Chains A and B, each alone.
Chain A
Amino acid sequence: MLTEGDLRKGPNLATPLLSTTTGSWRLVRPVLNPKRCNNCLTCWLFCPEGCFTRGESIVSLNLDFCKGCGICVAECPREALTLVEEGSNDARLSER
């Protein structure tokens, strides 16, 4: 919350400041098949939200900011990513 002191100084505020994640926007989620991933980083590169982390041999996925746009799935050259509907069995399985 902004204090009176902040308000008195004008609409200039320290950044970053994230009050929420954008994962709740998502209707579909990408699921990674680690066996097919060869760490080519295409998904890491093209994710507008920066949801992928580079690893030793494969990428990993943090869904906090994932809006489910599907670019990673469309761009993956090895079909290592698939989109599943949020709330579906596939989505639940992916959380294990």
Chain B
Amino acid sequence: MVKIKELPDAELVQGSYACAGCGGILAVRLALKVLGPETVIVTTPSCLLGVTTFYPQLAFKVPCVNVTFPSTAAAVSGVVAGLKRRGKKGVKVVGLAGDGGTVDIGLQALSGALERGDNFIFICYDNEAYMNTGVQRSGATPLGARTTTTPVGSIGRGEERPKKDMLGIVAAHNIPYAATASIGYPQDYLSKVQKAMQVEGPAYLQVLSPCPPGWGYRSDLTVKLARLAVQTGQWPLAEYENGRLTVKEIANPRPLRDYLAPQARFAHLLG
């Protein structure tokens, strides 16, 4: 288990142009506390790329390889092979993509890299829609959520399909480690990052990262909503290890309304 008090002081991402209260940048900042400076990030056009690597505001203190939207995991494979050829051992290669860049357009490349067994960590910061382009639905958008492409009207009731079971898809590749996490549970999340670092071969993490403008809530609620998603059973914390899937049980789940009510994207469901 990661001990919060023992995390390093160094901020490896700072000065980004992320929105106030961005869950995604918090997910990345926290992960880098565990990953440390011997890390290479590979990322794609997304909120993250836009807010951390747009000249003249470059916010990472670790190398960052930007690539095209479908290609995170493919470029990861290249970086892994290249570093190996250069004899650079002990450098962790981390693919970072949003939910669209992971479960939709990035899925083929991710499947390829997982199946090849390359040694890398893939972190999907999941804010449940294409936020960078203006909140369009993705395969990770939950049932009922209003987005700009699943609007609510006299017929439309928001997203019509449940969220894609990405953990199941990833686990089907029989990789050494995969997990879901939430920035509302940092110790759990960061312990999973640590496990992901320790395994040999691909590791996948999908961390729920609430988005104030995309979900329509006050920016100070980011962490609370990340917790409520777990407490209401909306976002199960699960781990796939040694071929076994375990899901953290919620002893006394809170009413779903507690999670939905603060978010404008679900307002039409509550009447």
Interface on A for B, CB 8 Å cutoff? 2, 11, 13-22, 25-26, 41, 45-50, 53-54, 65, 67-71, 73-75
Contact = CB atoms under 8 A, between A and B. Distances in A.
Interface stretch (B77-85, B138-146, B219-227): B219-227
B220 A70 contact: yes
B219 A70 contact: yes
Given A46-B26, A50-B11, 17 more contacts: A18-B15, A18-B58, A25-B20, A45-B186, A48-B23, A48-B25, A48-B26, A48-B222, A49-B29, A50-B29, A53-B9, A67-B19, A69-B219, A70-B218, A71-B222, A71-B223, A74-B220
B9 A54 contact: yes
B9 A48 contact: no
29 contacts: A2-B55, A13-B58, A16-B58, A16-B60, A17-B55, A18-B15, A18-B57, A19-B56, A19-B57, A22-B15, A26-B20, A46-B26, A46-B183, A48-B22, A48-B222, A49-B29, A50-B13, A50-B29, A54-B9, A65-B15, A68-B20, A69-B21, A70-B218, A70-B219, A71-B26, A71-B222, A71-B223, A75-B223, A75-B224
A49 B53 contact: no
Contacts of B89: none
Contacts of A46: 26, 183, 186, 223
Contact of B21 (A14, A45, A54, A71): A71
Nearest to B220: A70
Interface size of B as a range: 35 or more
Contacts of B64: 15
Given A45-B186, A50-B11, A13 B220 contact: no
B58 A22 contact: no
Nearest to B18: A48
Pick from B56, B183, B224 the residue with the most CB of A within 10 Å.
B56
Interface string B5-19: 101010101111111
A49 B9 CA distance: 13
B18 A15 contact: no
Interface in B137-160: none
Nearest to A49: B14
B220 A69 contact: yes
Contacts of B19: 67
Given A48-B25, A48-B26, A67-B20, A16 B14 contact: yes
A41 B220 contact: no
Contacts of B58: 13-18
B55 A48 contact: no
A89 to B, nearest CB: 22
Nearest to A50: B11
Nearest to A2: B55
A32 to B, nearest CB: 16
A73 B220 contact: yes
B15 A16 contact: yes
Contacts of A47: 26
Interface string B195-222: 0000000000000000010000011111
